[in-house]
Amino acid sequence: MARRTWNRNVHYHDIVLGAVPPRCRRALDVGCGDGRLASELAEVCGEVIGIDNHAPTLARARAKHHRANLTFVDGDVMTHPFAPKSFDFVSSIATLHHLPLDAALTRFASLLRPGGVLAVVGLHALRTPADFAYGVVGKLLAIWMHMTKPIEPVLAPIKDPEESLEEIRAAVEQMLPGAQLNRELLFRYSLVWKKPSG
């Protein structure tokens, strides 16, 4: 059996998959890249849409992943005409820092049905001693993974994050009350929020 490939984004797929609500009918993967996470979501959700605005990356996703309940859309999540409250689950890995933070959080929340779940794994800028300490450990983990696993290159456009973890946390606390935000290794954080049912 072939070993599963690894990179710093794939490392956190399980956090996202673990946040999928029961009986998820419709899911959106924002910045779907090569489509691997969207395809994994299609195993547990009734319908999955992966959206990305980088045409070459999206072409690779369409070539790699073929599922009857999976569709890839070439577009910008901020402007694509998705209906409000039309998804049970919205996910995003290494994409939020490409978007205006407050506007993107508002947009993601608006797309969720009441009781729906948002799961984000994002990047943050290094500013504090804790950031750099976690960064060192993350570097060591990445070196170990590169030595022990086949690496899956990230071929989508890359951008350095601008917001610090503290800035992201403040925005999340204001806009998504009750969200769980955790610092992760590999210069990342995880965010899981359930939209109130009321």
In the chain the domains, ranked by start, together with CATH numbers, are 10-125+156-194 (3.40.50.150)
Task: List the strands of the sheet with 70-74, edge to edge.
Answer: 70-74, 47-52, 26-30, 87-93, 112-123, 188-194, 180-183
- Read off the pTM: 0.95
> What's the CA gap between 193 and 82, in Å, rounded?
20
pLDDT in tens, 134-163: 999 999 999 999 899 998 888 889 999 999
Per the CB < 8 A criterion, the answer to whether 124 and 161 are in contact is yes
- 1 band by pLDDT with thresholds 50, 70 and 90: very low
> What's the CA gap between 151 and 133, in Å, rounded?
24
pLDDT at residue 48, rounded to an integer: 98
pLDDT in tens, 78-106: 999 999 999 999 999 999 999 999 999 99
Per the CB < 8 A criterion, the answer to whether 175 and 106 are in contact is yes
